[in-house]
Amino acid sequence: MFSRNARGLLDFLMAALCLWTAWHHTPAGALVRRGAAWAFNSRSTARPLLAYYDGVSSSGVTPSALVPEAPPVRPLSEVETLAYGTHLALKGLQPKARKPALGLAMELGIPTESLLDAAQGPDATRKLLEGLAGEFPSEEARLTAVFAGRIPARYAQERVSAVGGPFTLEELSRQLPPGYEDATVAATQALALTTAFGLKWPVPEATRVSSPFGYRIHPTLGTRKLHTGVDLSVPQGTEVRVVEDGTVRRASEDAVNGRVLIIDHGRGVTTAYCHNSELLVKVGQRVKSGDVIAYSGNTGRSTGPHLHYQLELSSQPVDPLRFRSGSRAVATGSQL
């Protein structure tokens, strides 16, 4: 089919393509490029080695920016919870990854610096999302536009519409062109934060926080450990209510947590309720916000009747008081 010379040229071109791919698009190539940059005291454009495995490029998200510095001063509407979550996710992005959102803000006449400002950011982000609502009706599509840009989001929305699928973030991300992994990660985190801001409280609002989230001297072990939730001082037998719709993922008992429930609320958000005296729901059961799911108690490793309430975003424990509007709780004791 080909002459010997033509086959030789074709083999050479294919070999050159393989070397270029290995140099620019594999962990080994990245390692060699970084080593060469160090040896010759130059700058490397190689992605971090782990980025080849976790799907997030070097322009990705900084997790430490994803927890609000202070809780909202008042209860938030459904629109405002989305704005708060999106604002925090934007703050967590590296500057390069914020360009689509900043470009959209400029188009809509929103000062770009206001999107990242602690005081103005949530309101500016709400205006940005409202400005996209006409073109992108679902909130998942709007978030895709914020983090990926108008044109890629429009393409993904049209593709999902063509195949008749739901406009979920998962379906939209599948239709995005290659290279938008950061946008999907950021949009996913915005949805998780939005859900966290909308959570209710498992016991009466006026309940005293006897031990807050954070490092403390463990009441029984005597060592400094991270307290991954908040202890709420309630009498034994107090009704424990689920803070949002969800599915029961765990309903069991162990020596540390006592009788414990874990509820999956979707979007990477779970809540846990520990040391109960009685569990009223089973694994796999669907529950609605406000349902009584347990009675508080003193089971497991506990120094007195209370409820240990824990919030996790993407399997990482966070302070639930940071997402509770108007929260000014002060710990006055130390329970476990």
Give the pTM: 0.75
- pLDDT for 207-223, tens place per residue? 999 999 988 666 666 66
Of 172, 213, 214, 237, nearest to 309 (Cα)? 213
pLDDT tens digits for range 292-332: 999 999 999 888 999 999 999 988 899 999 998 866 444 44
pLDDT at position 32 is: 67
| First-last CA distance in the chain | 78
What is the C-alpha to C-alpha distance for residues 318 and 59, in angstroms, rounded to an integer?
A: 24
Q: What is the pLDDT of residue 55?
A: 31
Percent of the chain with pLDDT over 90: 59
Q: Phi, psi (5° rounding) for residue 300?
A: 75, -155
Q: Rounded to whole angstroms, how far apart are CA atoms 257 and 274?
A: 5
The structure tokens listed for 336 are: 């476990």
Tokens of 166: 């739901």
Return d(Cα 266, Cα 214) in angstroms, integer: 25
- The pLDDT tens digits for 10-28 are 777 777 777 766 655 565 6
Instruction: List phi, psi (to 5°) of 136.
Output: -125, 90
Q: What is the dihedral of CA 328, 329, 332, 334, to 10 degrees?
A: -140
